[in-house]
């Protein structure tokens, strides 16, 4: 690990300004992703700004009947919050499908949204990787690509985004609240938060340098049946090959989103219009344009079957 300086911030605005001031500085929250990347020298921040003391860990109701989740709320606390379990159960289920209990105790809401891909070539500094070093090439294209994206990828990067939580948040139309280094705030719809790789796979989200996530808000509850099914190589403690988040209403209408298949949580609102026609019709629209490699074309079948299983389960109520 390279040497770095460290400070504890005492306000959100101070934290944002401190990261913007020092080129290569980073926020640290739970540290469960960032510290691993620093040990491998994939991330080499010269300065760390600790945001754990900012009181951003509250989960509270909003005036319009939704929920505001502090950026530092731990994954364990969010998954076990009674309002989340009752009104946003898909989020609770997605969180509990992720990582391990120990990791969830440390991992935060913002850190989870900003975790980096688990592409093995990204983690190997001997390999070319456009995400790690822009312009160096992509070892996964033509390489071992079993875990990689089947949709929304580019010639520059075929990585997937590994978060379970974010798939549920995308389904629920969450918004990301931030403060920028000049003290101004903004709200980013989660649909616009994560980027597809295109020619700039190193630019993974809509944040500017020094922009601090302060909270994630959820709109009013949707009702319906909430399901999250994650398919992985081991029963637990593994990232998704494919996951399906769904909120299905008694009349068969609803929402679906996929994880493990793209560089961002994959939701196609137009596909949801086909829900009354059944899983095959939804899958056809959701996965239109999919371009798997020969090693991961199984994900298409897996996504279709997992979606069908989730919709069948939803029918039981
Ligand atoms: C072995 C292992 C298994 C895992 N399995 C899963 C899994 O199955 N599913 C899953 O979804 N996740 C999984 N994870 C990932 C885990 O959920 C993330 O590491 C965790 O959510 C990151 O949160 P953190 O608070 O520790 O982030 P950190 O590591 O502290 O930070 C991550 C990034 O976010 C930035 N950041 C943190 N807070 C803010 C903020 N408020 N504003 C702006 N930037 C910020 C940091 O600068 C850093 O770039 C696993 C992790 C490990 C180590
Ligand atoms: S898929 Fe993306 S993260 Fe993986 S090696 Fe290629 S550029 Fe890097």
- Give the model confidence (pLDDT) of 208-253 as tens digits: 999 999 999 999 999 999 999 999 999 888 999 999 999 999 999 9
Task: Kindly report the protein residue whose alpha carbon is nearest to atom 11 of ligand 1.
Answer: 163
pLDDT at 316: 87
Q: Using 50, 70 and 90 to split pLDDT, how confident is the model at 112?
A: very high
pLDDT at 236: 86
User: Which ligand is the nearest neighbour of the Cα of 120?
Assistant: 2
Q: Is 202 in the pocket of ligand 1 (CB under 6 A)?
A: no
What's the order of all strands across the beta sheet hosting 242-248?
Answer: 225-231, 242-248, 254-259
Substitution candidate for ligand 1 out of 27, 75, 213 with most atoms within 8 A of CB? 27
Q: Which long-range contacts (CB under 8 A, 24 or more apart) does 301-306 make?
A: 302/231, 302/241, 302/242, 303/150, 303/242, 303/244, 303/258, 303/261, 304/279, 304/280, 306/229, 306/231, 306/242, 306/243, 306/244
**Rounded distance between C-alpha atoms, residue 13 and residue 268, angstroms:** 35
* Average pLDDT across the chain, whole number: 97
pLDDT at 250: 95
**Rounded distance between C-alpha atoms, residue 215 and residue 160, angstroms:** 24
Substitution candidate for ligand 2 out of 117, 161, 199 with most atoms within 8 A of CB? 117
- Whether the per-residue pLDDT at 130 is higher than 90: the answer is yes
- Whether the per-residue pLDDT at 317 is higher than 80: the answer is no
**Rounded distance between C-alpha atoms, residue 303 and residue 298, angstroms:** 9
pTM above 0.75, yes or no: yes
Q: Tell me the β-bridge partners of 220.
A: none
Q: Is 228 in the pocket of ligand 1 (CB under 6 A)?
A: no
Give tens-digit pLDDT for 21-47: 999 999 999 999 999 999 999 999 999
Average pLDDT over residues 292-300: 98
**Rounded distance between C-alpha atoms, residue 161 and residue 142, angstroms:** 20
Q: Which residues line ligand 2 (CB under 6 A)?
A: 117, 119, 121-122, 129-131, 138-140, 157-159, 201
26 CA to centre of ligand 2 in angstroms? 22
pLDDT at 91: 98
User: Which ligand is the nearest neighbour of the Cα of 105?
Assistant: 1
100 CA to centre of ligand 1 in angstroms? 12
Report the Cα 262 to chain-centroid distance in Å. Answer: 11
pLDDT at 208: 96
């Amino acid at each position: 690990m390279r040497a770095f300086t460290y400070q504890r911030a005492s306000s959100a605005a101070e934290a944002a300004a401190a990261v913007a001031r020092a080129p290569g500085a980073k926020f640290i929250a739970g540290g469960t992703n960032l510290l691993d990347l620093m040990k491998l020298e994939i991330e080499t921040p010269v300065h760390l700004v600790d945001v754990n003391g900012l009181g951003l860990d509250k989960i509270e109701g909003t005036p319009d009947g939704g929920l505001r989740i502090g950026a530092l709320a731990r994954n364990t606390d969010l998954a076990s919050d009674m309002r989340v379990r009752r009104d946003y159960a898909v989020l609770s289920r997605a969180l509990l499908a992720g990582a391990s209990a120990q990791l969830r105790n440390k991992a935060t809401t913002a850190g989870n949204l900003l975790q980096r891909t688990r592409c093995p070539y990204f983690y190997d500094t001997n390999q070319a990787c456009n995400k790690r070093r822009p312009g160096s090439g992509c070892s996964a294209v033509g390489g071992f690509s079993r875990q990689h994206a089947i949709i929304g990828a580019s010639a520059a990067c075929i990585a997937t985004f590994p978060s379970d939580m974010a798939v549920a948040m995308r389904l629920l139309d969450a918004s990301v609240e931030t403060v920028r280094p000049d003290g101004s705030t903004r709200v980013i719809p989660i649909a616009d938060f994560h980027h597809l790789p295109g020619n700039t796979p190193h630019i993974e989200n809509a944040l500017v340098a020094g922009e601090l996530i302060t909270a994630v808000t959820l709109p009013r509850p949707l009702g319906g049946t909430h399901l999250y099914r994650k398919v992985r190589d081991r029963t637990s403690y593994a990232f998704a090959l494919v996951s399906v988040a769904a909120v299905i209403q008694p009349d068969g209408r609803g929402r679906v989103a996929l994880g493990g298949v793209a560089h961002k949580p994959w939701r196609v609102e137009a596909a949801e219009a086909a829900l009354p026609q059944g899983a095959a019709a939804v899958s056809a629209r959701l996965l239109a344009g999919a371009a798997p490699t020969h090693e991961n074309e199984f994900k298409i079948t897996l996504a279709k079957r997992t979606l069908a299983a989730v919709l069948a389960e939803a029918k039981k109520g």
